[in-house]
Amino acid sequence: MTGPRLRFAPSPTGFLHVGSARAALYNWLFARQQGGELLLRIEDTDEARDREEWVEGIFEALRWLGLDWDGEPVRQSTRAARHAEAAATLEAAGRTYWCDCTRDAIDQRAHAAGRPPGYDGFCRDRGLGPGEGRAMRFATPTSGATVVHDLIRGEPTFDNAVIDDPIIVRSTGKAMFVLANVVDDIDMAITHVVRGEDHLPTTPKYLLLWEALGGGELPVFAHLPMLVNEKRQKLSKRRDSVAVEEFRAEGFLPEVMVNYLALLGWAPTDGRERLSVDELVREFRLTDVNSSPAFFDLAKLRAFNGDTIRAMAPDDFALAAGPWLSGPLDPRLVPLVQERVVTLAEVAPMVDFIDAEPVIDPASWDKAMAIPAAASVLERAADAYQALDDWQAATLKEALVAVGESLDLNLKRAQAPVRVAVTGRSVGPPLFESLEVLGREVTLRRLQAARARLG
């Protein structure tokens, strides 16, 4: 007995969004845990919307997340002959008919008859043959019921009478999604179909087609809860910015994405939330996945990312942040910055004053320089730093404490003008370590420039 065979079957119509990534992850976790296989199928049959660049983007995003797959990805577009063959089989078995109804005609008939929208089987018995503007429909049973066996949802049951006859071959001769999907799953010997809940309503058609094609043992289904936005609507590529590639660019860590995504719809029962990939593979249970939709909470993702960054070895952190920086970050500042960022992209703006002249933030300036003694602080700090023997954080701090005392200011207040003068902002890494790295010359120049600016 071989392991289960799963598939992730995205259509290349955009970036990989987090909902798809979550589906890919759950497929991957289950396959890896069960010693099965995860196949990749690119459903590129929508010429109007598919773009080749998205295909490579999907591969790249999956690789970044650490989700690998078995064998070469299957391009659905290369399987047209098999789809046509399957359609011919169904036609020969008398399970199909040709239809020349336009969408308008269908709608008008429904409206005129006061029936709900949807195809009415108008062409079922017209005996039409293939031809211009004619599509092939699959004749679904008019009685009985079709049951979906779903690991997550139990057994959703659909009356066959309410299942419309789907178009399976377009008038162009190309297979529609349902047919291609079923034929490919049969040929790829898929045993478990793990996908979004949005596919559940079309699953009975899938099942009926599978049986009509003699696909053999039916796959087991697991329809995952949708990922929703703050309005509790299904995440959409257009409306919501949720591309995996974007999170990557913003400096989220791949293991954090995987950890967080895994928890959207599933959790171990002991309450642990920070799980390694190995732990996820070991502990994940498809049957324990929730059935209710989950909101993708950026705040929690950020919390996880910050935690993980802080837990990194400083060298690893510096290495990881590299791509977001123009040059190397002084080792003395690495741990200080590491503790203060949530994403890797936040590193650069935090230390930009080191290598470039500070950009003065007006609000910070106004607040720090508002105290009457600000000018004196800058002057005396410059004097003290000019005379300082030992240019180190500890002595720099001592000297400024003394300056503060001479002006009756505590360090909290005395450091503010210096910080803004040197970094341009009121927030940033610890001041004295920053000055140490900056060096005497630059520090003095910036203190004097700020003093001059004060007038």
Partner RNA sequence: GCCCCCAUCGUCCAGCGGCCGAGGACGCCGCCCUUUCAAGGCGGUAACACGGGUUCGAAUCCCGUUGGGGGUGCCA
Catalytic residues: 237
Q: Which of 347, 403, 402, 356 is nearest to 375 (CA)?
A: 403
Interface characters, 316-355, with RNA (x: CB under 7 A): -----------------------xx---------------
Q: CA quadruple 121, 125, 126, 130: dihedral positive or negative?
A: positive
How far from 11 is each of 5, 40, 77, 315, 454, CA to CA, in Å? 20, 11, 11, 39, 60
Residue of 424, 421, 426, 430 whose CA lies nearest to 379? 421
Among 5, 17, 83, 134, binds RNA (CB under 7 A): 134
Of the candidate residues 121, 141, 254, 293, the single one contacting RNA (CB under 7 A): 293
297 binds RNA (CB under 7 A): yes
Work out the number of other CB atoms within 10 angstroms of the CB of residue 258: 22
Q: Which residues pair with 75 in a beta bridge?
A: 42
- How far are the Cα atoms of 83, 349, 392, 439 from residue 338, in angstroms, in the given order? 54, 13, 21, 21
Q: Tell me which stretch binds RNA (CB under 7 A): 29-37, 312-320, 423-431, 445-453.
A: 423-431
Does 87 bind RNA (CB under 7 A)? Our answer is: no
Q: Which two structure tokens, joined as six digits, stand for 444?
A: 């003095």
Contacts to RNA from residues 159-178, by CB under 7 A: 159, 162, 164, 167, 170-172, 176-178
Among 3, 71, 133, 331, binds RNA (CB under 7 A): 133
Write out the H or E segment, with its range, that includes residue 41. Answer: strand 37-42
Among 198, 316, 366, 405, binds RNA (CB under 7 A): 198
Residue 113, amino acid: A
Q: Closest separation between CB of residue 268 and RNA, Å?
A: 7
How many residues lie near RNA (CB under 7 A)?
Answer: 87
Smallest gap, in angstroms, from Cβ of residue 391 to RNA? 15
The binder of RNA chosen from 218, 249, 303, 360 (CB under 7 A)? 303
User: Of 100-129, which residues contact RNA (CB under 7 A)?
Assistant: 100-103, 116-119
Q: From the CB of 278, what's the least distance to RNA, in Å?
A: 19
Nearest distance from C-beta of residue 446 to RNA, angstroms: 16
Q: What is the chain's length?
A: 455
| Closest approach of RNA to the CB of residue 1, in Å | 26
Task: List Cβ neighbours of 273 (8 Å cut-off, separation of 6 or more).
Answer: 259, 263, 267, 304
Ranges within 5-24 binding RNA (CB under 7 A) = 9-11
- Residues 352-371 contacting RNA, CB under 7 A: none
Nearer to RNA, 248 or 302 (CB): 302
Other CB atoms within 10 Å distance of the CB of residue 203: 21
Alpha carbon dihedral 335, 302, 25, 273, in 10-degree steps, equals 80
- Considering only 19, 215, 306, 417, the residue that binds RNA (CB under 7 A) is 306
Closer of 196 and 455 to RNA (Cβ): 196
Rule CB under 7 A: which of 219-278 touch RNA?
A: 225-226, 228, 231-234, 263-267, 269, 271, 273
Q: Which residues contact 342 (CB under 8 A, 6 or more apart)?
A: 302, 303, 305, 306, 309
Nearer to RNA, 37 or 43 (CB): 43
Query: Is 144 a residue that touches RNA (CB under 7 A)?
Result: no
429 binds RNA (CB under 7 A): yes
Indicate whether 426 belongs to the interface with RNA (CB under 7 A): yes
Interface residue with RNA among 5, 79, 419, 446 (CB under 7 A) is 419
| Among 352, 337, 345, 350, CA closest to 252 | 345
Q: Is 154 in the site for RNA (CB under 7 A)?
A: yes
Examine residue 288 and tell whether it contacts RNA (CB under 7 A). yes
Dist. CA 255–CA 262, nearest whole Å: 10
Q: How many CA atoms lie within 13 A of 47 on its CB side?
A: 6
CB of 399 to RNA, least distance (A): 12
Residue 2 vs 103, nearer CB to RNA: 103
Assigned token pair, 25: 């992850």
In whole angstroms, the minimum distance from the beta carbon of 370 to RNA comes to 14
Burial of 300 (0-12, 13-18, 19+ CB in 10 A): middle
**Is residue 263 a contact partner of residue 279, using CB atoms and an 8 Å limit?**
no
Residues numbered 34-63 forming contacts with RNA, rule: CB under 7 A: 43, 45-46, 49
